[in-house]
Structures are given as structure tokens and as C-alpha cells.
Amino acid sequence: MPQHDLMTDFLRASSVLATVESQRSDRPNYWTTDPSSLLTDCVPGRLDLGTGEDLYASILPAIEAAQYEVILVTCFWARSRTLNRLNDSLRKLSASAIARKSKVAVRICFSSSSLWQKLVHTTSLEGFVVPPSRWPSQLGLPAESELRGLNLEIKSIFVLPFSVMHPKFIVVDRQVAFLPSCNVSWEDWFEGCIELRGSIVAQFVRFWQAFWAEDRSKEYFLPRNVSNETDQTQALFLPSPHHRNLRFSFPWQAAAPPPRTPLNVFLLTALANAKRSIFMQTPNLTAQPVIAALLVALDRGVDVRILTSERLMRLEQIVTAGTTTARCVQQLIADYKGADRGHDGERDLEAGPLLRVGRLSISYYTPRSAADAKVNEPVQSHLKLNVIDDEVVVLGSGNMDRASWYTSQELGVAFFSEDFASRVTEDLQIAMTGRENLIFDSQC
């Protein structure tokens, strides 16, 4: 799959965004008139894999070393070992700033901390700024008196009924960005985080400025971030604004088209352009457009491998999608089996040679046995990763479920590099050893 073909198809499919009224009213929507502005490059670091606490342990040294600014965006915020570690790092950052006789600007942005918080939250996209007096009691943060070296602001944004702001990223001094799949929370889930340098860092700052910053009326200063490294990876920054999309459908009905966000458009374009293989690791699988695209790819002869979680957030799935991952997986298998697939390689004298049908393999994440497991063994998979034709990798916050595709705000990054795809695949294969339960393989 030549990269330029996928890029061209994505830009062509995105070119209508500025003409669609719903997209013009999205916030943020700065890319609608020029989707090519999302093209960028980066120097990706290693892909860290482990629990959320593991990932933050690798991120926090960079936060502690910040000289003037930390931007931390997450979806769910909860008291946890991860939060305790973050609190210690904020205290260290404050102390170092005081020693330099300066202050470090810290902006913490989140969407959800409890059911009650969401029920009583303002519907305004200006959000709610948590006053310092409530930092300890509401958020479990240190008191303002412990953070005198920080210019700290904490804001939450949530739109009833289902529009959660789901991205997770950290930017330090506008020089390095981290893209983790985890929240600041207590769950011992299998997660991933990539460190990014280069021009892409300005994309994260621009997204934050357009949605979260206190003053969006001016163009935020974006320093030119040029890496000295020559090994640049071409990338696409893929935002996905939230929507109040309540166009539910029953399982036997055709799903409404998803909002045409850059992330949705790119993923559908990538699935439609896949020539050889699709690997998808997702916490949930309830987005009907994705399932339909996978079946079409299989019919083209593309091999599809899916790794998901059988019992993760089932109540949330039922509320937001009217179904569960397990049901959708069984339906996908039934649809795959139900098609006329018994003639692989045969020739129809009138229709010509039939295409090879792709191999379908589906596994559920399972924790390692007690004998093989490490401390804090991840109990579910929360990683969001797609690899297309061993050439294109998509990481970020977006799940393959209805909430991510129709209502939640999401953020992803597509990387165009065979070397990066190979490295990610190899690292993941090692990390997943002993953590997969194969439930279906069309070649078995």
C-alpha cells in the first residue's frame, strides 16, 4: 500500500469537511478548511508497554525536568498509585522551580472523575476550572501551598449524555510529547505509550490550545520544533471532535454513518486501502462501520487479526452501543462463516477467478497465569493499536467501539514507516506472550 496513495485518498475524503455544516460547528475544527495541515513528521521513541502505573513511571522524569510548561490531558481522573506518583513529581517540579526563582505553568485537563461529577457538570464547552481549595478533596492533589512553584490550572469538560473528552497526552516544554493509552487512574490494564519529538509536538499544542486553553481568541505561540535527528517518520495528526450523536440503531438495523472526523475518515480509508493484512488491538469492538469494513477487507483477500477484551466495560458498551464486544465478535464470526467461502481459488467460467478470502483470527486478552505473571499483572487490554499492511501504524485514544466513533472526543496519530511498524509489532508480540486466548481462526 504506497503511502502516497493512502495520503491522497485521505485528503480527498477529508476535503468535504469544510462544506459540511456539522463539521464547521465542531470544536475544535481548525483543520476543516485545510486537512493537509494535519500532515507532519516526528521522531518516535520506544513503545512502552505495561500498566498505566508503569507508563507514568517512565513519563514522570520528563515532567519533573520541565523548565517552563507541562500540559497533561487525560480522560478519567481517579485516586490511585499513578496519581500518588504524579503528586510526588509535581512537588519535585515545584521545588526545582522555586530553587530557580521561577514558576512552571502546569495545565491539567480531564473529562471524568465520577458518575456524580458528570451528572452535575456544566454543559458549557468552557468547562469547569477546579478552584485550588478543592484540589485535595475533589482530585486528591497536593494543597496549593505545596505547589508554590507552579502556575497550576485544572479544568474539566464533559457534555451530557455521552460526550466524554477521551484523548490522553502529555507535552513537556513543547519539545516532547507522550501519547499513552492510559488514564490517571487505578486500573491494572495492559497499556501502551509512545514518546514523540519533532514537528508533531506543535500539533498536540495546537489541539490543546483550540479546545482546552483559557484564551482561544488568539493564535497560540507554536515554536518551531526541529529535531537534529535525520530519521524522521512521516505522520498524520488525527483529531476527532465530540458529538451528541444519539442515532442509535438496533443490531438488525444498518448503522448510521459515523461523523466524518479526521480519525474516522482515516481509519475507514486505511481499512479500505489495505492490501495484505490488518492487525487491530482494541479494548472494545462495537462500531458497526468498523466491523463492516473488516468483512469487506476479508472478502478482498486481506488477512485480519483482532485482539480485544471479552468483558471490559460491558455496562458502558450496553449503554452507549446497545450491545457488547462479545456479541459483536460472535456476529462477526457468524457473518464470516455465513458467506460463500468454500471456493477459495476456484474459477467461475463466467465470472472469472475468485479472489482469495482473507484469514480471520480473533483472540481475547487474558492475564498470564500466576506462575508466569509479574507484579500488577494487567487484567484487561486497554491498548488501542492498528497496523495496516505492516506499513502504517495508528496509536491513540480511539477504541473500535460506538462511543469512540460517534460521541467521544478522540485523538490518534498515524505513522507511515515499515521500520516503525516492524518495531511495534515485535515489541507487542513479546509483551503479549502468554496473554492471548485464541477463540477463532479460519485456518484451524
Contact 32, 260 (CB under 8 A): no
Residue 349 lies in a domain: no
* Among the ranges given (192-201, 310-319, 363-372), the one the predictor scored with the smallest mean pLDDT: 310-319
Asked whether residue 283 is domain-assigned, the answer is no
> Which runs of E-coded beta strand occur in 113-204?
128-129, 150-156, 158-159, 163-164, 169-172, 176-180, 189-197
User: In this structure, is residue 50 part of a structural domain?
Assistant: yes
Residue 326 CA to residue 20 CA, distance in Å, equals 35
| pLDDT at residue number 343 | 45
Q: How far apart are CA 117 and CA 18, in angstroms?
A: 34
Query: Mean pLDDT over residues 327-344, rounded?
Result: 81
Residue 35 has pLDDT above 60, yes or no: yes
pLDDT of residue 229: 55
Please check whether residue 150 lies inside any domain of the structure. Answer: yes
Share of the chain above pLDDT 70, in %: 86
Q: How far apart, in whole angstroms, are the C-alpha atoms of residue 370 and residue 367?
A: 9
| pLDDT value for 4 | 61
Task: Report how far residue 443's alpha carbon sits from residue 418's, in angstroms, rounded to the nearest whole number.
Answer: 27
Residue 154: inside a domain: yes
Comparison of pLDDT for 161 and 418, the residue scoring more:
418
Higher pLDDT, 213 or 161: 213
* pLDDT given at position 253: 62
CB 414 within 8 A of CB 335: no
Q: In whole angstroms, what separates CA 205 from the centre of its chain?
A: 17
Asked if the model's pLDDT at residue 216 lies above 70, the reply is: no
Of 379, 286, 299, the residue nearest 330 (C-alpha): 286
Task: Please say whether the beta carbons of 6 and 392 come within 8 A.
Answer: yes
Residue with the three cell numbers 521545588 = 95
Q: Mind listing the pLDDT tens digit for each residue in 225-238?
A: 445 555 799 999 99
Q: Is the pLDDT of residue 116 over 60?
A: yes
Phi, psi of 266 (to 5 degrees): -65, -45
In the predicted structure, residue 372 carries a pLDDT above the cut 70: no
DSSP 329: H
Residue 398 in domain: no
With 90 as the cut, is the pLDDT of residue 389 above it? yes
pLDDT at 342: 45
Rounded CA-CA distance 223/221 in Å is 6
CB contact set of 73 (below 8 Å; sequence gap of 6+):
109, 110, 167, 168, 169, 170, 208, 212
For the chain, what is the domain count?
Answer: 1
Can you give the residue range of the structural domain that contains 155?
44-231
Predicted confidence at residue 58, as pLDDT, reads 97
The confidence score (pLDDT) of residue 54 equals 96
pLDDT more than 90, % of the chain = 73
Greater confidence (301 vs 320) lies with 301
Burial group, residue 387, by CB count within 10 angstroms (0-12, 13-18, 19+): buried
Residue 276 predicted with pLDDT over 90: yes
Judge contact between 13 and 31, C-beta under 8 A.
no
Question: Assign residue 207 a region: left if phi > 0, alpha if psi is -120 to 50, beta otherwise?
Answer: alpha
Please report whether residue 8 resides in a domain: no
Low-confidence winner among 141-150, 212-221, 233-242 (lowest mean pLDDT)? 212-221
pLDDT of residue 376: 81
105 domain-assigned: yes
Mean pLDDT value of segment 84-89:
98
Q: What is the CATH number of the domain that holds 116?
A: 3.30.870.10
As a whole number, the mean pLDDT across the chain is 89
